[in-house]
Amino acid sequence: MPQHNEEKGLKSFLQNQHAAGLAGELAAWLEVPSPQNYRRFAIADMSMLDTKMLARMERHTSLGIQILETSRYAAYEELGPRLIPLDRLPAEKMQSFLSTSDGVPALSFVELLASEGIPQLQSLIWLAEAEIADGMQMYCRYTDTRILPVLLDTLTEDQTAMIGGTIRRWAWFNREGALSQKNFAATKAVNDVPLPPLSFDDQQFSSLMQAAEADLIFSMLRQSSPEIIPETTPFDIHRRLLSLLEAGRERGVIDAPDQLQFVAIAWSSSETFYQLPCLAQSWENIRNQQGRFSEVLKTWDDSIWEQIDALKPGSLEAWKPGSLEAIENTHENLFQYLENHIGAPATPRFFHGACRVRFEFHASASRQHSS
């Protein structure tokens, strides 16, 4: 069972280890006959893997190619995703191939159009070069398999049809460590004519950002307060985080710094602390925008803290007003987190929708990230 810190095995990602029999299941998926001019590839997210991991995978296959080399994100270079041919990967080497990324959401698999053996990258580049409703360009990290299924479910029919122009099937390892997949209806093959940009409307973008919230909060807690993270599987931690974030959202707790404090109190006392009658007025004030959660909780008197503390005695001293040092200046800490872990300038525009951290980072900062 996962423990509370690095020494005891707290995972870096909310992703279970590979399920039993996964190698055989993926081998069977890859052995399904492909139509003419299609080949099977692995997509590796090199922002979560390193060159040694890539070399171990390529030992069983052929050398990979940089997916973004001809895109506006070519500056990512070695940090950009790789497309690894799987034609030469024998089934008996599948377990060894997959062991490199066990528990890391960095590997997916596609059956891709490859005219004359050359993989057609148009759809993969198109997915990366996204923009939002106001025209702001952004890098869509679909190569992160925590983002991929949400993204595919969020696309419109027309956007999905764009993928079907070059991709027939896509598989990945879900948060439970099992194989998930999606098939695409064949559409007119993508040619050399530039595709219209992938543009997310406000609802799509909101769905993607909301789906990334749990991972962001987990990463920050892992840095600041790993001892309060429940001792359970990464998948279960994710499930419980989603439930807490939804409970907070219903009460007006929507900013990442406030969400962090909300979850910290829940995991230091009870995951139902917010149901206490003494907090009803606080939630009403927050919903009515009369104060943020981080401001309102500093007005809680001892009687409120005692009721919360009674849910799990002796656990909340670090979260009472006057002892919130770990996240007292949470906005500043979150900006610092973005700079330290993503390498992008933490400007207000970058920060908009804090959970974009899991979805994009600016190409202009890629050199800073690699230094």
Q: What band does 308 get if pLDDT is binned at 50, 70 and 90?
A: very high
Q: What band does 179 get if pLDDT is binned at 50, 70 and 90?
A: very high
Residue 73: helix, strand or coil by DSSP? coil
Ranges 75-84, 186-195, 336-345, most confident? 75-84
Residue of 260 and 188 predicted with greater confidence: 260
Q: What is the pTM of this model?
A: 0.81
3-state SS of the chain: helix, strand, coil percent to 5?
50, 10, 40
Mean pLDDT score across all residues of the chain: 82
**CA-CA distance, 153 to 131, in Å (whole number)?**
17
**Token pair in block for residue 43:** 């997509």
Which of 87-91, 96-100, 184-188, 223-227 has the lowest average pLDDT? 184-188
What pLDDT does residue 81 have?
94
**CA-CA distance, 49 to 84, in Å (whole number)?**
14
The strand ranges marked E within 293-360 are none
Q: Is the pLDDT of residue 244 over 90?
A: yes
What number of residues does the chain have?
A: 371
In what side-by-side order are the strands of the sheet with 198-200? 137-139, 129-132, 198-200
Q: Is the pLDDT of residue 4 over 80?
A: no
What pLDDT does residue 315 have?
47
What pLDDT does residue 358 have?
37
In Å, what is the CA distance from 241 to each residue of 37, 129, 238?
Answer: 43, 30, 5
**CA-CA distance, 265 to 253, in Å (whole number)?**
13
